[in-house]
Amino acid sequence: MALPIDEEISQASEERRSRWMHRRLLIFCFVSMAAAGIEVAVQLVMLLWKAGSSFDHLLTDYRLLPGAVTVLVFFFGYRRAKGRQLDRAAVIRYSFWLIVAAGALAFLVEPLFVAFPIRTLVTDLPPEQVHSQPSLYARLLATHLVGALFIPWTVREAARVLAALCGLALLSNLLFVQGALAFRIVEAFLLPTAGVPGLLYCWFRYSRFRRKFTLEHVLGRYGQLQQELQQARSIHEMLFPGEITDGPCRFRYCYEPMQQLGGDFVYARRDEADRLSVVVLDVTGHGITAALTVNRIGGELDRLFGEQADRLPGEVLTALNRYFCVSIARHGIYATAVAVRHDPQSGQLEWANAGHPPPFVLKARGGCTALDSNAVMLGVLDEPLYECQTQSLPFADGDRIFVYTDGATEAHNSRDEMLGIEGFQRVLLDKTTRKECDSVSQDVLREVQRFRSGPPEDDILIVELTHSAAHMGRTCGTAAEWEAGG
């Protein structure tokens, strides 16, 4: 089951942040180990230069031991973290305990060696230099902030580390800090504020990372989705039939989906008796949902005509309505449809209209007839309430029929005026009278696009069927003749 986009982004973000934390954890260990090693080396050089200490004296000098312990702790942490494939929880756990270890070294180990030195070579130094230590507040601030700078915690994770460090600092305050009780109590209450810079930085960095990652993830998914939609469109359009330019009836169409995929569909099938059946559907909705519905309808039409190639248009729409009621309408998806069949032997055009905008039949000798709906749209009523009768009219040489979807008639111009069925009829008559009786569906689509302001608001499909004749080269009457005949 596909995850919601927010959850998908969260999971992908945490996976990427885990890898990021792992790298930064290794860097933190390496830098801490190197810094402690440099500190030990500098102290060693200073001791040799100032005191001329012998080797056995250096091994027991308290100022070298905390640094040496720090090197060992972070070396151990580096080796353990580097040699394992750590998940997010393990990385967080490692970073937590390493910072706590750094805090323990700062708050407990160093003060312990100061309070109880194994051997001191600095008894000749002034007491203030022997016992001078950074305040607990400063050590807590430095430890937490350095950890926050290196390791990309969330605010909650940084707060957990701060709480552990505060506990160590309070223990150090109780055991090693000397001075007035009131001062120690005030310092104890102020300790949590030392983590404010680290918390603020973690919040800022994580917020920026989240925004950047979300943008990258969405753009990446958008590009991937665009590529998949292009491939899906190629497969989807394989369902559409090829144009028929020979035989007694010519079949052409033009299609402009609102999005990459659409819910308009045309199906054409010619039987052994040269009868051409065409079904035009407009599924409710747009995009992928409508396109998936079209795929199912295409398969059902193949089955229907495969079982019985000479089905009447009314029978086709009745069978499709039953299919919608059984498997599609329960999902809130419906469709309007027109089915036509041209029989060259009888010279008749048989048709049925289930809630679709009226197709126009243009006579070669003038006249325009609208084929109004004679049934409700598919999926609204089931048997036995649903009725869809087949009707017929003469379809002579040179006659043509245009079936279109409502995306053509519902186009709006810049003044928010809709083209409408009458406006589409005017465009159709104008284009057909200005051009010899060849395909004009593409010209009609261009006129709709010219009228429209902006991108399409719905899928547009214009289907044209023409009864071929020997006199197809002449001009097919005038608009006035057609309207007079209609």
Residue 18 · residue 87 · CB < 8 Å? yes
Q: Is the pLDDT of residue 101 over 50?
A: yes
Report which listed range, 273-277, 315-319, 407-411, 441-445, is most confident: 315-319
Amino acid (1-letter code) at residue 273: A
Q: For residue 263, which of 279, 281, 278 has the smallest C-alpha distance?
A: 281
How far, CA to CA in Å, does 382 sit from each of 320, 323, 379? 11, 9, 7
Instruction: Note whether 158 and 211 are within 8 A (CB).
Output: no
Asked whether the beta carbons of 136 and 190 are under 8 A apart, the reply is no
pLDDT at residue 303 tops 90: yes
Contact 359, 340 (CB under 8 A): yes
- Please indicate whether residue 219 or residue 248 has the higher confidence score (pLDDT): 248
Q: Is 235 left (phi over 0), alpha (psi -120 to 50) or beta?
A: alpha
Is the pLDDT at 121 greater than 50, yes or no? no
pLDDT digits (tens, 9 = 90+) for 52-66: 555 555 555 556 666
- The string of pLDDT tens digits covering residues 418-473 is 999 999 999 888 887 765 556 788 889 999 999 988 888 888 999 999 987 544 44
Judged by DSSP in three states, 436 sits in coil
C-alpha 66/C-alpha 401 separation (Å) is 94
CB 460 within 8 A of CB 448: yes
Domain with CATH 3.60.40.10 in the chain: 239-485
Encode pLDDT of 3-55 as tens digits.
Answer: 566 777 777 777 787 888 888 888 888 888 888 888 778 877 777 776 555 55
CATH number of this structure's domain 239-485: 3.60.40.10
In a 10 Å sphere around its CB, with 0-12 CB exposed, 13-18 middle and 19+ buried, how is residue 485 labelled? middle
